[in-house]
Each structure stands twice: as structure tokens, then as C-alpha cells.
A and B are shown apart, each in its own frame.
Chain A
């Protein structure tokens, strides 16, 4: 693993300064033509109005007595929303544990190369976070099962969250990204995760599932530690690299 440094980056216009004037000349000769009526926004609007959604939330086959809400039976809509959110978090935590596996590998390589430095994470920190993700996955699996839901189903919220997160894994596992670049990808995941756990705590509490809300609050506390730690490591590393006063 090599540290990212200055070099022969060719992407900017100034990298070919001799060509800049000629490139600009050609664009001034062009007269852009307007399309027949429709704009990009209009086309998107038309499709958005006509499209079906990505899919449905599978109904729970059974509802077990142990999770009856303190404020009465849930409507089908409330149950669907809750299951969709639980499944979304489950999928994210499961993927998150795989992200941390990749990050741990990167960490070991960077550590061997002496690229971690003071104020960075330890291997034990990252392994603990990885195990937290896996434990949260198990917690959500149990919660979905307790509602009589199927924890193996991919729900719309889980599906769309996976689309949103498509860049995280590649940013971590590309062998050319250094540990700190990979850590920045984890920050994106942790930011989302933190907000989503807060939403789950509120949702469980608001629907009257106090026991579940308590268990989710413990998970949220883990996530608070993840987020603050990752932020702090990145902050310290960036300041140190830039030679800035912390």
C-alpha cells in the first residue's frame, strides 16, 4: 500500500495548458440546439408519474403474542412500515459487517507499512465495531421474527438503501484505496446508520414497543461510538497530514 501523494494527475484543464485556449475556441463556435419541447425534468416527471414502485413489503405470515403493542393492535400499514424499516437496518448491518471485514484487512496492511500513526484506530477497535454490526444484525433478525416477519426477505427500504450504498464496498475493497480513504467510506455508512437507528428507536417507542425501544437504544449507543470514533480518527489524520493545528 502506498500513501496518496502529489504526482502526474492529467485530469484538470491546466494539465494541458497549451490546449486550453483551443478547446475553449471550439465551444464558442458551437450553437447549442434546444430539444423539441421536453426538458430533462419533464422527462423525469413523466416517468416518475407513470412508474410502479420498486416492490412491496411482504406481509407477516403470523403475529406472535409476545410483541403485542402496549397501545393496542397495529394497523397493517404501521406493521408494514415497521417491518420495512427493520429489514432495511438488518440488510445494512449485514453489509456493514462485511465492510468492516474489508476495512480490517486494509488496516492490517496499513499498519504493517507504518501508515496508521498516533490517534488512529487500533485493530481491536475495528474488530469490536465489526462485531457490533453482526450483533445488531442478529438483534434485528430476532425482532422481525418476533413480529412473525421473514428476516430473509428483501424489502423496498432495504433494496433502496442497498442502491444508495453501492459505492461503499468498492471504495473500501479497491486495493488502490488507502486505509484512510476506506475509512471515509465507512463514515458514509456510519452517518446513515446513526440516523437510521435513532429513527428505529423512535419508531419502536412511538408504536408502544418499549422493550424493543430499550434494546434499540443500546444499539444506538454502539453506533454513537462508531460515528464519533470514525470522525475523530479521520479528523486527526487529516489535520496531521496537512500539518494543521488540531
Chain B
């Protein structure tokens, strides 16, 4: 079922309320709930986090919008809490990290497939192969430090394989800025896709920056620090696709539309009845926020929000395995690098290019993501399942006396 954005008004902001008890709902089961329920929780936490971030920045630049922004932010802060607290306490930081990378792979793949703009789709595939590699590195970390299998979290929806090696993903800032879409001509779906990925990647970066220092093992600390650096690149990359000439109110309307679109996608796919009720409630809340922002756009800017919004939502985000698409992308595009806003084959990258020089310097004292995954091949039940006890020394690459 689709949804008519102009007619569906949702719940007015004045009627959106919470109790403190509601903010801490019973969590999902790490063991029994579907991996995509966790994917949706992580994604929506990221989008709500970005909603707050955007609205704070917006308030810095607008005297008149401060009160309505604060009202919507309060509801969204509570929404974010309720969503994020669905994650269970037996899900370790590293297990949650595996979930973050599954979001980055499966959601990015879905958006790349429905993206009408070929250049933006190319950008998503480019980023996808990098997050795909992060999953492989974190899976190796989980296996080799905790002795645990990342597939317990992934539930066999997502492959654990090397992508574009993380050590090659480090790029100079000048090679991270993509061409923005043109706000006058862009397809509405492209706006939704770009903003979805900015929110998801921003939260991934912030999560790694928060949890990275909680690890004791120097390998883990190094891997989180290195991958957090790439996630910052990804935020830079995806946000650079968005037309910087959009007005604050235009961006606000789009921000609400993105949240509503993603909650609506969650409702379409959710199998856990209790969680589905939360998605439905927050879809209604977001429609309320959207209409509030649309009304402000009409009254302040004297513009019709229909200029920038689709009449109804496109296909929902596909919360399902994209194994074949990812493998195909891996086979065809893993060799790509970036030069300015363009993507080039690796053999066209000049030895004195900004990114090559940057990479050389950054990797010159060792690369944690290479160390952690040296020779790593995932197998069901961890790589130890494939090692005979007598050959145990091979795990550490050691030679016995």
C-alpha cells in the first residue's frame, strides 16, 4: 500500500506524548528476532539522531523557527530513545557493530537499486563495497578476539567477504566530494535516498567514536579508529550529493519526509507485532511533523511543498538480503577509486595523487584492519571450527618451539 503524503496528516505535534516508562520498552531477542528487525531499529535510531542534529543546526540559523523546531526535536528525541532501547543488553558492542554494518550493506544496496540517478546510484555502490569490507574486518575481530561468530547476528542474510580493502579506502578530502543533485530538477526519490544514507552513516560514525575507546584490546581500538575515519568520509560523500542551495525549510520538509518514508518501509516489512506497532505510531508522528514543516514552508517561504515531495512514497526500502547484487557489484566495481567527484579504475590513479599520498602516510605505521583480518576466511562457527587442535599455533601465525 502506498501513502498519499498530502492527505495523510498523521498525529499533530501537540498530541505526541510519552511517559518515561514508555521510553524503555522491552527489548527484542537477539537470538529469536529476525536480523532485519535489528537492522530497522539501528537504521531508525540513526535517522532520528540525524533529525535532532539537523534541527539543532537549523535553529542556529533561524530565530523564528526555534520554537517549532524544539517541539519536534523533543518528540523525536523520545522516539529515538524508544527505538534504540529496543536493542537488548546481551547484544555486545561488537555484535551491535556487526548490525550497523549489515544496515550499511543491505539498506545501501536497496537504495542503489531504486535510485533513478545513475551517478548517485554509482556513489551508493562505491560506498557499499567499503562497508562490505568493514563487516569482514569486524567479523574477523569478533572471531579472533571474542571467539564468536558474526553470522549469529547476520543470520546468513549477508556475506562475510573482503570488499574494497579498508586500507585503500582512505582518501584525501578533495576526492570525497561528489557532484550535488540540482534541486530544480532532481527526482524526489533521489532526495529521500541521499538523506537516508547521510543519517545512517552519521550515526555509524558517532557510534564507533563513542564505543571505540571502551575496548581494551589494541587491535580492536585500532580497527574502530580506522573504520570511524572512513565513516566520516562516507558522511562527507553522501551529504555532498545534496544540493547545498536547498533552503533550511526545504531541508526540514525533506528530513521529515525521509523519516516518514523509512518508518513506512519498516511497517511494510516488520514481522514482530510489538515492534510494528511502534513503527506505525512513529509513522503517524512523522506525518504530523511533515505537515507542520510543510505548513511553515507555505507560510514563511510562500512555496508549495509539492514542488519537492513525491505525491506518494516510492517502493519501500527493501529489508531483505541483497547477496546477488552485492556480489555482482563486488565483481564489477571493487577496483574503482575516486578522483575529485569522479570514479576511476585503480590503474588510472596517479602515484602522486592526493589520495595516494594521503593513504601512504596514514598507513605508514601499520593498518589495524589488515592486521586483524590477515588470512581470515569466515566459516560457520568461526574459523576455529576449521582448525585441528594440533594446528592451533597457526591461529596466531606462531611457530612452536
- Is B384 touching A97 in the complex (CB atoms < 8 A)? yes
Q: CB within 8 Å of B: which of A97-118?
A: 97-99, 101-102, 104-105
* Closest partner residue, chain B, to A47 (CB atom): B26
Decide if B312 is an interface residue (CB 8 Å cutoff): no
- Is A52 touching B217 in the complex (CB atoms < 8 A)? no
- Knowing A54-B30, A55-B29, A169-B145 are in contact, say whether A127-B92 is a contact too (CB < 8 A): no
* Closest partner residue, chain B, to A160 (CB atom): B90
- Of the candidates A105, A151, A170, the one having the most CB atoms from chain B within 10 angstroms of its own CB is A170
Binary A-proximity of B145-179 (CB < 8 A = 1, otherwise 0): 11111011000000000000000000000000000
A contact residues around B26 at 8 Å (CB):
50-52
B384 CB to closest chain A CB (Å) equals 6
- Is B148 touching A134 in the complex (CB atoms < 8 A)? no
Decide if A238 is an interface residue (CB 8 Å cutoff): no
Which one, B316-324, B345-353, B387-395, is touching chain A?
Answer: B387-395
- Is A98 touching B147 in the complex (CB atoms < 8 A)? yes
Binary A-proximity of B362-392 (CB < 8 A = 1, otherwise 0): 0000000000000000001110110111101
A215 CB to closest chain B CB (Å) equals 14
B contact residues around A130 at 8 Å (CB):
392
* Closest partner residue, chain A, to B214 (CB atom): A170
- Is B92 touching A166 in the complex (CB atoms < 8 A)? yes
- Which of A51, A101, A123, A155 has a CB less than 8 Å from the CB of B395? A101
In angstroms, Cα B32 to Cα A96, docked, is 25
Decide if B401 is an interface residue (CB 8 Å cutoff): yes
A contact residues around B388 at 8 Å (CB):
138
- Is B389 touching A135 in the complex (CB atoms < 8 A)? yes
- Is A171 touching B90 in the complex (CB atoms < 8 A)? no
In angstroms, Cα B31 to Cα A156, docked, is 8
A contact residues around B147 at 8 Å (CB):
91, 94-99
B contact residues around A152 at 8 Å (CB):
149, 151-152, 380-381, 385
* Closest partner residue, chain A, to B156 (CB atom): A152
Interface of chain A: mostly helix, strand, loop or mixed: helix
- Is A162 touching B216 in the complex (CB atoms < 8 A)? no
Decide if A174 is an interface residue (CB 8 Å cutoff): yes
- Is B392 touching A131 in the complex (CB atoms < 8 A)? yes
Q: CB within 8 Å of B: which of A52-71?
A: 52-56
In angstroms, Cα B382 to Cα A96, docked, is 13
A187 CB to closest chain B CB (Å) equals 18
Interface of chain B: mostly helix, strand, loop or mixed: loop
In angstroms, Cα B334 to Cα A206, docked, is 56
Binary A-proximity of B204-223 (CB < 8 A = 1, otherwise 0): 00000000000111100000
Decide if A184 is an interface residue (CB 8 Å cutoff): no
- Knowing A52-B26, A169-B146, A174-B216 are in contact, say whether A154-B88 is a contact too (CB < 8 A): no
Decide if B3 is an interface residue (CB 8 Å cutoff): no
* Closest partner residue, chain A, to B152 (CB atom): A154
Decide if B311 is an interface residue (CB 8 Å cutoff): no
- Is A55 touching B32 in the complex (CB atoms < 8 A)? yes
* Closest partner residue, chain B, to A55 (CB atom): B31
B contact residues around A141 at 8 Å (CB):
381, 385
Decide if A163 is an interface residue (CB 8 Å cutoff): yes
In angstroms, Cα B145 to Cα A99, docked, is 8
B contact residues around A159 at 8 Å (CB):
30-31, 90
Decide if A119 is an interface residue (CB 8 Å cutoff): no
- Which of A97, A154, A162 has a CB less than 8 Å from the CB of B392? A97
A125 CB to closest chain B CB (Å) equals 13
In angstroms, Cα B382 to Cα A101, docked, is 15
In angstroms, Cα B151 to Cα A54, docked, is 18
B contact residues around A179 at 8 Å (CB):
none
B101 CB to closest chain A CB (Å) equals 18
Decide if A137 is an interface residue (CB 8 Å cutoff): yes
* Closest partner residue, chain B, to A171 (CB atom): B216
Decide if B400 is an interface residue (CB 8 Å cutoff): yes
In angstroms, Cα B400 to Cα A124, docked, is 9
Decide if B344 is an interface residue (CB 8 Å cutoff): no
A contact residues around B216 at 8 Å (CB):
169-171, 173-175
In angstroms, Cα B24 to Cα A51, docked, is 12
A175 CB to closest chain B CB (Å) equals 5
In angstroms, Cα B148 to Cα A23, docked, is 46
Decide if B89 is an interface residue (CB 8 Å cutoff): yes
B contact residues around A105 at 8 Å (CB):
396
- List 25 A–B pairs whose Cβ atoms lie within 8 Å, in order of A's numbering: A54-B90, A55-B29, A91-B148, A94-B147, A94-B384, A95-B146, A98-B145, A124-B401, A127-B392, A134-B387, A134-B389, A137-B384, A141-B385, A154-B31, A154-B149, A156-B31, A162-B92, A169-B146, A170-B215, A170-B216, A170-B217, A173-B216, A174-B216, A174-B217, A175-B216
Known: A98-B147, A141-B381, A156-B31. 8 other contacts (CB 8 A): A54-B29, A101-B396, A134-B384, A135-B389, A154-B30, A155-B31, A171-B216, A173-B145
Closest 6 pairs (CB-CB, A-B) = A55-B31, A170-B216, A174-B216, A95-B147, A173-B217, A98-B147
